[in-house]
Amino acid sequence: MTLHKLTLSKARDMLAEKSVSSVELTQALLDRIAAHDDTIKAFISVDQKAALDQAKKADADLAAGRAGELCGIPLALKDILCTEGLKTSCGSQILDTFIPTYDATVVSTLKDSGAVILGKTNLDEFAMGSSTENSSYQITVNPWDTNHVPGGSSGGSAAAVAAQFCCASLGTDTGGSIRQPASHCGVVGLKPTYGRVSRFGLVSYASSLDQIGPIARTVEDAAVLLNTISGNDPKDSTSA
């Protein structure tokens, strides 16, 4: 099977069976991004070196039998989630030089689970939009038909999943910003119940409505990703 076509669950099984390595899978997805994202423009930034370093560590953990829930799985993050040492722009030139000194809780949770972070995806500036045409960096297009929008504001995350640039991604939803682009791009998106997922490290649009949630190619994959990022967080007093 062509590696970029693997669902999260299938990739997890193959990694556990050692029929594919995380480095192989990560490199295949990085190659696909390099070949096609000039057209789709799903990513604002791709951190190739860090992704391959994380993949090498994941392979070592898998070999040692200390693999986490998502060990070796390459994911993408909406560029509104703080990532230590990696630019978090919120789709705005205002934050073009903002390099967070900490990870959002969902990001640190993914890293603890062994996930590989490929990069940060495009969005309407500060998540204010529903088409991903309003980023100050670029306009993301729908992978199924580049004459159409992918929806928004998590359009970069939905397009990245639909274009098979990653096994799954995280987006954020205030009034439809995961569900609408997931629908536009023919993938699965879920806005969790408020409090289910920590919002610490999410650059807020409307903090009483914002939620972080999964975008994936199957319901099973979305459930696996949601289960990983869910839970109480002392840093977020509204988390359950």
Catalytic residue among 9, 41, 78, 154: 78
**Cα 25 to Cα 181: distance, rounded to the nearest angstrom:** 25
Which residues, listed in sequence order, are joined to residue 216 by a DSSP beta bridge? 168, 188
| Given the residues 21, 153, 198, 239, the one annotated as active site | 153
C-alpha 2 chain-centroid distance: 21
120 is catalytic: no
| Catalytic site includes residue 153 | yes
Catalytic entry in 9, 21, 131, 177 = 177
Catalytic annotation present for 45: no
Active-site residue list: 78, 153, 177
